[in-house]
């Protein structure tokens, strides 16, 4: 290892991004700037085709995320979870990203509060912190109580100041970002009912949605 090199600081934000919206993008950007990260990677999740309310293909979700980060050097797209033909567990993704980094590089798994509360249902969730720090973004429309199973972990691993996170992983911190009560669910509902989603998604994403007729009730 080159002893003069500075460890890299990389954020990972996974999501269905169906579609990507300003909650994801502002969160990723604010976290990147506040913590001085080298980059935040947006990783669209593989999701089996389903027949719920209008939603779109992996290819469309990926295309929209790519459009959304254009011109933003801090935000990059990592399509590795879509390159497999089955859902990836976050632990597998972390192991795969880790394998490409140096041991002292810092990985920050960025999750919204709702996703953080769901952590105990994730495959091998207790091993996540072996590979990364976890940064939790608040969501204004989320419940405020963490589930029982998370409380011990939170007590043992939480650091008040996200800027004080040290080492390649193992700690949890909460990050403040401008709270935006927007969700992809609401955006899909607006589109399905013919309402405007202008200013909730980047204009390039909106143009893509319109050009491809996505999320219309008849899809």
Site for ligand ATP in 107-136 (CB under 6 A): 111-112, 114-115
Segment interacting with ligand ATP (CB under 6 A) among 9-17, 29-37, 95-103, 202-210: 9-17
Please check whether residue 69 is in contact with residue 22, taking contact to mean a CB–CB distance below 8 angstroms: no
Q: Does 43 bind ligand ATP (CB under 6 A)?
A: no
Q: Among 11, 15, 169, 202, which residue sits at the site for ligand ATP (rule: CB under 6 A)? A: 15
Burial label for 192, CB within 10 Å (0-12, 13-18, 19+), is middle
Close Cβ partners of 54 (under 8 Å, ≥ 6 residues apart): 188, 191, 192, 214, 215, 216, 217, 219
Number of residues that bind ligand ATP (CB under 6 A): 18
For the bound state, the minimum distance from the C-beta of residue 28 to ligand ATP, rounded and expressed in Å, comes to 9
Q: Does 189 bind ligand ATP (CB under 6 A)?
A: no
Please check whether residue 46 is in contact with residue 92, taking contact to mean a CB–CB distance below 8 angstroms: no
Window 150-179: contact mask with ligand ATP (x via CB under 6 A): ------------------------------
Q: Does 183 bind ligand ATP (CB under 6 A)?
A: yes
For the bound state, the minimum distance from the C-beta of residue 5 to ligand ATP, rounded and expressed in Å, comes to 30
Please check whether residue 176 is in contact with residue 149, taking contact to mean a CB–CB distance below 8 angstroms: no
User: Quick one: which of 127, 80, 124, 119 has its CA closest to 100?
Assistant: 80
Q: Which is nearer to ligand ATP, 9 or 21 (CB)?
A: 21
DSSP 133: E
Can you tell me which residue has the tokens 């300003």? 22
* Residue ranges that bind ligand ATP, judged by CB under 6 A: 15-18, 23-24, 27, 111-112, 114-115, 137, 139, 180, 182-185
């Amino acid at each position: 290892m080159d002893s003069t090199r500075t460890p890299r600081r990389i954020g990972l934000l996974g999501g269905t991004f169906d579609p990507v919206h300003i909650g994801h993008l502002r969160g990723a950007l604010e976290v990147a700037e506040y913590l001085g990260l080298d980059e935040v990677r947006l990783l669209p999740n593989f999701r089996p085709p389903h027949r719920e309310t209008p939603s779109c293909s992996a290819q469309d979700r990926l295309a929209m995320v790519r459009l959304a980060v254009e011109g933003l050097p801090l935000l990059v797209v990592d399509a590795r979870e879509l390159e497999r033909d089955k859902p990836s567990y976050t632990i597998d993704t972390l192991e795969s990203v880790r394998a490409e980094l140096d041991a002292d590089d810092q990985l920050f798994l960025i999750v919204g509060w709702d996703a953080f509360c769901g952590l105990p249902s994730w495959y091998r969730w207790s091993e996540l912190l072996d590979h990364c720090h976890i940064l939790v973004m608040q969501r204004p429309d989320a419940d405020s109580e963490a589930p029982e199973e998370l409380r011990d972990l939170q007590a043992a691993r939480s650091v008040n100041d996200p800027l004080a996170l040290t080492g390649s992983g193992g700690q949890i911190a909460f990050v403040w970002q401008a709270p935006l009560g927007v969700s992809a669910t609401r955006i899909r509902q607006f589109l399905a009912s013919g309402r405007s989603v202008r200013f909730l998604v980047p204009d390039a994403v909106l143009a893509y949605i319109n050009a491809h007729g996505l999320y219309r009730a008849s899809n």
